[in-house]
Amino acid sequence: MIDKNSIIYIAGHNGMVGSSIWRTLTAKGYTNLIGATSKEVDLRKQKAVRDYIRKTKPDVIIDAAAKVGGILANNNFPFQFLMENMQIQNNLINEAHRLGVDKFIFLGSSCIYPKLAPQPLKEEYLLTASLEPTNEWYALAKITGVKLCEAIRRQFDKDFVSLMPTNLYGTHDNFDLNSSHVLPAMIRKFHEAKENNNAVVVLWGTGTPMREFLFVDDMAEAVVFALENELPDNLYNIGTGKDLTIKDLALTIQKIVGHTGDIIWDDTKPDGTPRKLMDVSKMNEIGWKHQVDLEEGIQKTYTWFLENITNFKQKEY
């Protein structure tokens, strides 16, 4: 049984998702959280992972570590996105199994589902058709993680579970325009355009694709739910069950940021998957549901962005 004194290792604890999980668990009274930076433990190296788990003896491992990025980064670095993500998760899953960790929570992404799968996306659609080419490298890695956890669960009866979030955003997000996802990239673009006399903002694609977004603290609550309960199945979608067009997302962010200039859509750039809406009924039925609506979440994220904007500029220059 997991209790407030259980040793919980959060891999990737400094990232947006991992840090949110850490804050959420701390607020709920968990006292034995552990984590290591990439300099302390290189998760791509099997021996480093084995030594760390052997030394710390965690009761639970939450895998929030990954090499992540948007369409541009996935297109430019396919080998790294496939190889490094497989190395990270395979080392964590394998060593958790070998060293007797009985509870493992693996975090993936909605991109594991086929590009043209029926909407909303159900868990059973996994591996039924081709992936979206612009992020298939990351998706393939995450699919192998899901299947590894399923195999351990089936063969060894261990509580290894996979949670597949929709597009996440929130405080501690990545706002680097070369590697960030669409929502934080838009926040930064609109903010900088506002500061530059409400200059024109150029956005990729046509604005017509539909996307769903989940505030990161809601994702953390889903992880806590999986931690505190033995879920009956191996794979669960995590999201809001609601989506909107990228154009409507842009208008929402523009309003919150206070930018009053024009928006130009560069339709020579790729749109990606036409629609990605998660069917979250499976998770809702066993007791978890999101709490933060999109406008509230964007406002919280923009406030955090403004409070930390100096740090972003220092990192880049």
166 is in an annotated binding site: yes
Q: Which residue has the tokens 């706002």?
A: 175
127 is in an annotated binding site: no
Q: Is 31 annotated as a binding residue?
A: no
Give the Cα separation of 230 and 214 in Å (integer). 23
Residue 99, annotated as binding a ligand: no
Ligand-binding annotation for 204, yes or no, is yes
Out of 138, 169, 236, 302, the active site residue is: 138
211 marked among binding-site residues: yes
181 annotated among ligand-binding-site residues: yes
Annotated ligand binding at 107? The verdict is yes
Q: Would you say 146 is a known binding-site residue?
A: no
* Residue 110 annotated in ligand binding: yes
Cβ within 8 Å of residue 308, ≥6 positions away: none
Residue 130 known to bind ligand: no
Is 138 catalytic? The answer is: yes
Task: Point out the annotated binding site.
Answer: 12-18, 107-110, 142, 165-168, 181, 189, 204, 211, 271
Task: Point out the annotated binding site for substrate.
Answer: 189, 204, 211, 271
Task: Point out the annotated binding site for NADP(+).
Answer: 12-18, 107-110, 142, 165-168, 181
What positions carry a catalytic annotation?
Answer: 138
